[in-house]
Amino acid sequence: MVELLRRATEHSGTDWMELHERRSIEQDGKSRWRSIRVMYFTMFLSSVGFSIVITSVWPYLQKIDDSANASFLGWVVAAYSLGQMVASPLFGLWSNHRPRRESLVCSICINVLANIYYSYVYLPPSHNKYHMLLARAFVGFGSGNVAVVRAYVAGATSLNERTGAMANMSACQALGFILGPALQAALSVIGEQGVSVGIFQLQVNMYTAPALLAAFFGVINILLVLVVLREHRVDDDGRQIGAINYVPEDQVDMVPEVEGSIDHMAVLTSNILFFIILFIFAVFETIATPLSMDMFAWTGKEAVVYNGIILAAIGFQSVVVFLVVKVISVRVGDRPVLLGGLAIIFIGFFILLPWGNQYPKIQWADLQNNSIPATVGAIPLPTNGTVEPTGCPPSQTWCQYTPAIHLAQYIISNIFIGVGYPATNVMSYTLYSKILGPKPQGVYMGWLTASGSGARTLGPVFVSQVYTILGPRWAFSLICGIVLVAILLLMVMYKRLIAFSVRYGRIEE
């Protein structure tokens, strides 16, 4: 009798232990995916913070400082990415050795304060354009947490889960690009004058309201990180390596060593490809407003609203592309999708090349029709707020001999780029995370984000200079050449761009 009781107790204890372990695994899984979804939301808000002002930067810059020109616009747009490029490796290194919520909360706080600063750049009596430059640089610095987000999602997903998770994260990023310009277009109803908040010496108008809204979103993000986020890490097969949230903070970096070295040539190639992909899209983002104002004779407000609608449509299209990519990549692999996306981007920029015998409207005709002196030298005189000159400025001499880009041509190009960019974007850093494998990815993701930020820094400067001096024919021809270089590099390095576990024969490709 005693023996039977003992066996029953042992059996019951075993069942209880198994049940407890099963429940623990289920809880870890739920906590892991809740935390991953917080990372999705963080990525979403990061892209909103960038895109919510992108279509209004140029008219806002012109409004606050008459000395600003299209070349300086390139530096303002690039400042965001320069700040992100500096911050990404730092936040990535921080996240490798400390709980990730520390670097996330710190970076988001910087982002919130920088957006508030952007809303006040009109207030100083002089040098307003430099204040805008600094504000966008600090917003970018705060957005360096993208490296932490990518490293977290890569480390918290198995190899089979990763493409889907990265595609979901990219879809959230695309939704941010949808909502950002759409919110900017919606907030344009406030007008350029807007409402004065005397107690804060703040002018809430169509240019400052989006930045204030981005700051509010940042506060929500901080609360979610503090309340919901937990630290998780799994290996390529999905086995839990550790729930870092439940161990002492000084042991955060104590992750089991994995045999095998990372293919640094594949890492370098991935960084170069990511740089090129972000470079060409930064060119596209930067040139949209000036190009449409020059070619279609849109006013600043029209350019903000119409480009906001177009970018929102592209963002919606991107979400569809991400969903399709998740399915296609399972069947054909990551590398073919990346190659196909680059080919589609090439077609998109090739379509933008000017042709025909119609030329853009020149601003001086507008000025003369309104009885305003045309120019002093090559610089259009101010209109004292009565009439906003539209068309191509005479200071850009190429306007007189370069054919106009048609609206249909512009929209078709947008569609192609809106398909190619999201496909290449998600595949490039999904492939990168697989190349790194189960190794700590914070610093590596920091370098990837830095390479993308470097592209966003150089892209706007490049296109603003080339476009202003030489025109769209040279600008888009050079971009087509850069895309061809990326395609050739991918083809040469094709066999080395494989997952860490596949390289060492642990998982079949």
pLDDT tens digit sequence for 154-184:
778 877 777 778 778 877 877 777 778 778 8
CA distance 300 to 388: 8
Q: Is residue 384 part of a domain?
A: no
Q: Is residue 266 part of a domain?
A: yes
Secondary structure of residue 373 in the 3-state scheme: coil
Average pLDDT over residues 112-140: 90
444 in Cβ contact with 438 (< 8 Å): no
Comparing 104 with 290, the larger pLDDT belongs to 104
Average pLDDT over residues 428-443: 75
53 in Cβ contact with 182 (< 8 Å): no
pLDDT tens digit sequence for 393-402:
888 888 888 8
Low-confidence winner among 246-260, 318-332, 452-466 (lowest mean pLDDT): 246-260
Q: How confident is the model at residue 288 (pLDDT cuts 50, 70, 90)?
A: confident
Residue 218, CA distances (Å) to 75, 145, 221, 430 in order: 25, 12, 5, 26
**Locate tokens 């107690």: which residue?**
199
Average pLDDT over residues 112-126: 90
Q: Is residue 389 part of a domain?
A: no
pTM above threshold 0.95: no
Average pLDDT over residues 63-90: 82
Q: Is residue 378 part of a domain?
A: no
CA distance 42 to 36: 10
Q: What was the pLDDT predicted at 245?
A: 43
Top mean-pLDDT range of 28-42, 193-207, 337-351: 337-351
Q: Detail the DSSP E strand segments found in 205-288.
A: 233-234, 240-242
Q: Is residue 395 part of a domain?
A: no
Closest alpha carbon to 347 in 491, 167, 487: 487
- Residue-range definition of the domain harbouring residue 119: 10-354+405-503
Q: How many CB atoms lie within 10 A of CB 294?
A: 29
What one-letter code names the amino acid at 277? I
What one-letter code names the amino acid at 72? F
Q: Is residue 163 part of a domain?
A: yes
Q: Is residue 368 part of a domain?
A: no
Closest alpha carbon to 420 in 324, 306, 292: 324
The total domain count for the chain is: 1
Q: Is residue 260 part of a domain?
A: yes
Residue 71 has pLDDT above 60, yes or no: yes
Q: Which CATH number do you get for residue 88?
A: 1.20.1250.20
Low-confidence winner among 20-29, 169-178, 295-304, 327-336 (lowest mean pLDDT): 20-29
**Locate tokens 């400025």: which residue?**
393
